[in-house]
Structure 1
Amino acid sequence: MSDKSNVMNVSRETPASAHSGYVMLLVLLAITVIGVWAIMGGLPPVGASKFEKLAFIGTLIGAVMASVFVMVGFYMVQPNQGAVITLFGEYRGTDRTEGLRWVWPWMIRKKISARVHNVHSDKVKINDLRGNPIEIACNVVWRVADTAQAVFDVDDYKEFVNIQIEAGLRTVGARHPYDDMSDEDETTLRGSADIINAELQAELNERLRTAGIVVDEAGLTHLAYAPEIAGAMLRRQQADAVIAARQKVVLGAVGMVEDALRKLSHDGIVDLDEERKAAMVSNLMVVLCGDREAQPVVNTGTLYQ
């Protein structure tokens, strides 16, 4: 038999049965007019009986109590805001109707903003998939979708959001390497921004679903190696850049040498044997791939001297 005590009771938002505050405002005005009329025109005359005096005092007290009763039930609902209403601890619905509203005074109203919130997380130091320490931060756009879950299913939904953002950022950051150090085409934190942002948004939506929170946008705003390895990783990136540049230079030089040999042979300018071709290729490669300008040497003899 399953243990039902470990199953969380998930709340669901329902509409509240609130009333228009403008109608109740007219009722309050009518009660006020009656009270003023009772005071101004219903004062007991001198020598009135005790019953008439008590009736006047009772009417006056009743008018005041009725006015206070009506006034306590008023509340305002701003655009993109909801009022969570409870009765003696029992959830009675959420009022999302804008304007002046009214409920019975013994009902508790707690206002929850359904507007979009923007949170920029602090820099978090984590280890990527390869164990390299990195610093990472993100920006998250979120809003309350279910006010009942936000109020009743978590203790403090704003603090819950901040904690889950950091936890989700750590989880996603640890799934991938910072950069691609191999020839394999894999997802990296630096080179696959769209994929990482979508994964972070999905991770946060899964974590914040318990609180009735929806994440509309999530993206990395800071990504760097930790200071203790930043210098070594910079040298590695510089070495990669040098190697890539050298490869491009060599490939270009090989193409130029092939074109030169083909042109010389096609036009019959000079007839070179294999040994002389190898020497020419060596000289051209040195000239084209060298870091410094080549110093020309004038040969005053024959081609083979």
Structure 2
Amino acid sequence: MKSENNIKASSGYTYLVLLVLLIITLVVGMALTKNPIFLILFVFIALIVKGFFTVNPNGSKVLVLFGDYKGTVRDNGFFWANPFYSRESFSLRARNFDSERVKVNDKVGNPIMINVILVWKVQDTFKSAFDVDNYQEFVRVQTDAAVRKLAGSYPYDNFDAAVAELTLRSGMDEVNEALENEITERLAIAGIEVMEARIGYLAYAPEIASSMLKRQQAVAIVAARKKIVEGAVGMVQDALDQLKEEDIIEFDDDKKASMISNLMVVLCSDKEVTPVINTGSLNG
């Protein structure tokens, strides 16, 4: 497989001077001698004019002679080359590609909406020109395929906190790195350098978004309640231990159970508790 061959083109200013001299020779010769032999200079003038081209900064020209790749000019400036060369321009500037949001299924089958932001540029003009039919369309299609493959490799979220699994939502750095590697591998055939690839949008598909939001809220509530209960148990234990150490009151099993029940209600309730003052005994 061929790769890019950088070549140096001739200075266009040298041939521009030659062009001016030929034009002067043609005009003066025809004016003084009226000899039609000078008309042959029109052919040379036309060929010289056809050979001029310019290359802008961060641009390039791919030169082909009758189907044979001759090289790529990356230097910017004013040049001249064989007038029979066909020349195709390729921009070497970095480009942004914001893909469309696509609906795909994640690893566990949930439909999600996802898109990617890609920063890329042409690295090898030979591959971009001759190894693929349309390199810009190739970038679009292969990026879309890479996003679909990535989305199917990870779950959107992990509702089981006990299972430490990488997800699209929680493992963005690792997921973006995997995405960049996948796109780089796919676009290498077209001579494209992937400078950065990141997930730009990620959400559940509209038809399940409401249900999944309720599920996330339920998981959050359960986790919060668990923490509250753990804290309440610790506070009740501390209270009983302190009362026992300072010998403030003696508890039998029934009184201890009643006190624990009341404290747990107060500490775990999600609403403000209204106290009831007992003016009699604890058993009254």
Q: TM-score, normalized by length of structure 1?
A: 0.89
Equivalent residue for 1:23, pick from 2, 14, 20 = 14
Contact 1:11 1:152 in 2 (8 A): no
Contact 1:32 1:67 in 2 (8 A): yes
Paired residue for 1:286? 265
Equivalent residue for 1:169, pick from 147, 154, 168 = 147
3-state SS of paired residue (1:84):
strand
Provide the C-alpha distance between the structure 2 equivalents of 1:146 and 1:241, rounded to a whole number of angstroms: 51
Provide the C-alpha distance between the structure 1 equivalents of 2:30 and 2:230, rounded to a whole number of angstroms: 104
Provide the C-alpha distance between the structure 1 equivalents of 2:101 and 2:282, rounded to a whole number of angstroms: 68
1:137 and 2:115 matched: yes
Paired residue for 2:184? 205
Contact 2:159 2:219 in 1 (8 A): no
Paired residue for 2:199? 220
Provide the C-alpha distance between the structure 2 equivalents of 1:104 and 1:303, rounded to a whole number of angstroms: 108
Equivalent residue for 1:33, pick from 24, 36, 59 = 24
Provide the C-alpha distance between the structure 1 equivalents of 2:159 and 2:283, rounded to a whole number of angstroms: 49
Contact 1:76 1:101 in 2 (8 A): yes
Provide, for residues 217-238 of structure 1, a one-character-per-residue CA deviation record: whole Å limited to 9, x for no partner: 0111111111221121111011
Provide the C-alpha distance between the structure 2 equivalents of 1:158 and 1:277, rounded to a whole number of angstroms: 76
3-state SS of paired residue (2:152):
helix
Contact 1:16 1:85 in 2 (8 A): no
Amino acid in structure 1 at the alignment position of 2:17: L
Equivalent residue for 2:167, pick from 170, 188, 199 = 188
Provide the C-alpha distance between the structure 2 equivalents of 1:266 and 1:22, rounded to a whole number of angstroms: 101
**Structure 1 residue runs of 4+, over 6 Å off?**
none
Contact 1:18 1:103 in 2 (8 A): yes
Paired residue for 2:2? 11
Provide, for residues 137-168 of structure 1, a one-character-per-residue CA deviation record: whole Å limited to 9, x for no partner: 11000111000000000000001110001000
Paired residue for 1:116? 94
Provide the C-alpha distance between the structure 1 equivalents of 2:180 and 2:269, rounded to a whole number of angstroms: 50
Give the paired residue count: 283
Provide the C-alpha distance between the structure 2 equivalents of 1:95 and 1:230, rounded to a whole number of angstroms: 52
What is the Cα deviation at residue 17 of structure 1?
4.7
3-state SS of paired residue (2:178):
helix
Equivalent residue for 2:250, pick from 266, 271, 275 = 271
Provide the C-alpha distance between the structure 2 equivalents of 1:271 and 1:38, rounded to a whole number of angstroms: 130
Provide the C-alpha distance between the structure 2 equivalents of 1:115 and 1:17, rounded to a whole number of angstroms: 20
Provide the C-alpha distance between the structure 2 equivalents of 1:132 and 1:303, rounded to a whole number of angstroms: 56
What is the Cα deviation at residue 214 of structure 1?
1.2
What is the Cα deviation at residue 275 of structure 1?
2.9
Identity %: 45
Amino acid in structure 2 at the alignment position of 1:81: G
What is the Cα deviation at residue 273 of structure 1?
2.5
Q: Who wins on radius of gyration, i.e. which is larger?
A: 1
Amino acid in structure 2 at the alignment position of 1:14: N
Equivalent residue for 1:57, pick from 36, 39, 43 = 36
Provide the C-alpha distance between the structure 2 equivalents of 1:125 and 1:177, rounded to a whole number of angstroms: 14
Amino acid in structure 2 at the alignment position of 1:291: D
C-alpha root-mean-square deviation of aligned residues, in Å?
1.4
Provide the C-alpha distance between the structure 2 equivalents of 1:30 and 1:159, rounded to a whole number of angstroms: 46
